[in-house]
Amino acid sequence: MTVTRWLAAAVSVVCLAGGISAATATTDRPTAGAAGIGDTYFPQHGNGGYDVARYDIRNRVATAQGRVTGVTAFRATATQALSRLNVDLVLPVDSVTVDGRRARFHRPNRHEVQITPPRSIAKGSSFVVRVAYHGRPASIGWGGEKPWVANRNEIVAMGEPQIAAWWFAGNDHPRDKAAFDIRITVAKGQRAIANGTLESVTKRRTTTVWHWRAVEPMAPYLAFFAAGRFAIERGRSATGLPWLNAVSRDLPPGEQRQSLALLRQTPKVVAWLESWLGPYPFSITGGLVTGVDVGFALENQTRPTYPYAGGTGSTWLVVHEIAHQWFGDKVSVRNWRDIWLNEGPATYFEMLWSKNWGEATPQAWLLSAWNANAAGSDFWKVRIGNPGVARLFDGAVYERGAMTLQALRHRIGDDDFKAVLQAWISDREHGSTADFIALAESTSGESLDSFFDAWLFTAARPAKTAANGLA
């Protein structure tokens, strides 16, 4: 089948093509949806005016050529009367339809596709957007970044805070979560791995289609796929939770064995974290180790991706990424400035798993870390509650975030601390630093403004006082 015929077939059978609900009666005058969702760090990430419920992504991937050709369809609800809307996509666009009718589009910049539907969309109504595209993602940069990671044998679409726009069209911000169907067509003999459960594998004469489904709401940057040669293992934990792991066959045999042994630690890690945080928030778990030299791990929802990291001696890395399934995936940041709410807890549980990093108790670790970073050092100059774009993933965001949590635990006590964490997970899909502070105060019955100001918003080492959880 030629690319043109494949695209036509994909559009004709996409599962979102069900009946469209009648437009909600409204007196609102249609206006353009905003080109950004309102994040001050990344003003053009996400879009205003609509909320996505489900994505259906159908991509054909040529690993050797680094080429992606595909169609994304998404069903959304208009949160305002829309005369036009934007989607995030850096790949060249071939065509756009809204509710099955061809729509006009143009590109105000490389990151945005501005779509004018043939008729306005009423507030509260459901509509379907389909975007067809093609291109070589590795050749495209935006905002000073080229997040696509691949070689001639393997692709792994993983990145933070941005990667989604390099392989599908959508509303790319953690505030707009959705369910996903991901179909990746690869050459015969290759495999494609993505989030969620494997729904089907359809073998054709020269290609294979891998269909994955993530039913729980997911932030777009947490959606991923990997294409190449992979060994796959599946099983169930002692509590019945299914898992699926994949390891690149491009790694040497010994590294493949070590990587599979590391990923097999995931069910044990999940069970340990459940003792702290309550039930694992998704219907499947697992992980993937890539053969591409990515240099970092990422908490992709249900299936984190890792570089080669050795065997079971690196279980701390699995702890970090699985902790993110609660902190970052289940509860995402409301704005990227709140990133410490993701990285602080993940680092904190990494520390607890690692027996307090050699210290006698978690509090002994906190005091040791406080002493190791002298007053006036760069470590304390990062205001982790608002670190700035350039220091979004600074080491201080991770370690000082973990220190903040241990200081809070010492300040309010174990029972209230655990109650705060569990309430944070159970009560929301998104959260801000202000939300977390309010929850900690309401749970503990204490005024904690000065505590959080010292740990999150002051560019100086917190004083060694009981009020700061240090005495």
Q: Give 139-183 pLDDT, tens digit per residue.
A: 999 989 999 999 999 999 999 999 999 999 999 999 999 999 999
Give residue 162's pLDDT: 96
Using the 3D structure, point to which of 181, 204, 228 is the last residue of a domain.
Answer: 228
In a domain, 69, yes or no: yes
Give residue 27's pLDDT: 53
What integer is the mean pLDDT of 314-333? 98
What integer is the mean pLDDT of 280-306? 97
In a domain, 468, yes or no: no
Check whether 216 has a pLDDT greater than 70.
yes
In a domain, 312, yes or no: no
Whose structure tokens read 């009367």?
81
* Co-location of 213 and 360 in the same domain: no
Cα of 95 vs its chain's centroid, Å: 27
Q: Work out the mean pLDDT of the chain and round it to a whole number.
A: 94
What is the torsional sign of CA 227, 159, 107, 97?
A: positive
* Co-location of 354 and 220 in the same domain: no
Query: At residue 334, what are phi and psi to the nearest 5 degrees?
Result: -75, -40
CATH number of 130's domain:
2.60.40.1730
Q: Give 9-56 pLDDT, tens digit per residue.
A: 443 434 444 433 434 444 579 999 999 999 999 999 999 999 999 999
Using the 3D structure, point to which of 228, 261, 276 is the last residue of a domain.
Answer: 228
Structural domain containing residue 451: 332-457
How far apart are alpha carbons 94 and 88 in whole angstroms? 15
* Co-location of 206 and 346 in the same domain: no
Whose structure tokens read 């990667």?
163
Residues shown for the chain: 471
Beta carbons of 354 and 313 less than 8 angstroms apart: no
How many domains does the chain divide into? 2
Residue type, 20: I
* Co-location of 221 and 348 in the same domain: no
In a domain, 261, yes or no: no
* Co-location of 75 and 198 in the same domain: yes
Q: Give 82-135 pLDDT, tens digit per residue.
A: 999 999 999 999 999 999 999 999 999 999 999 999 999 999 999 999 999 999
How far apart are alpha carbons 402 and 400 in whole angstroms? 5
CB contact set of 95 (below 8 Å; sequence gap of 6+)? 102, 131, 132
Name the pTM for this structure: 0.93
Using the 3D structure, point to which of 174, 194, 228 is the last residue of a domain.
Answer: 228
CATH number of 372's domain:
1.10.390.10
CA atoms within 13 A on the CB side of 144: 4
Portion of the chain with pLDDT greater than 90, in percent: 93
Query: Could you tell me the two tokens for 120?
Result: 């306005």
* Co-location of 208 and 349 in the same domain: no
In a domain, 129, yes or no: yes
Q: Give 415-442 pLDDT, tens digit per residue.
A: 999 999 999 999 899 999 999 999 999 9
In a domain, 85, yes or no: yes
Query: At residue 186, what are phi and psi to the nearest 5 degrees?
Result: -130, 170
* Co-location of 356 and 211 in the same domain: no
* Co-location of 215 and 362 in the same domain: no
Give residue 427's pLDDT: 80
Give residue 362's pLDDT: 98
* Co-location of 340 and 224 in the same domain: no
Residue type, 4: T
What integer is the mean pLDDT of 236-254? 98
Give residue 3's pLDDT: 39
In a domain, 280, yes or no: no
In a domain, 419, yes or no: yes
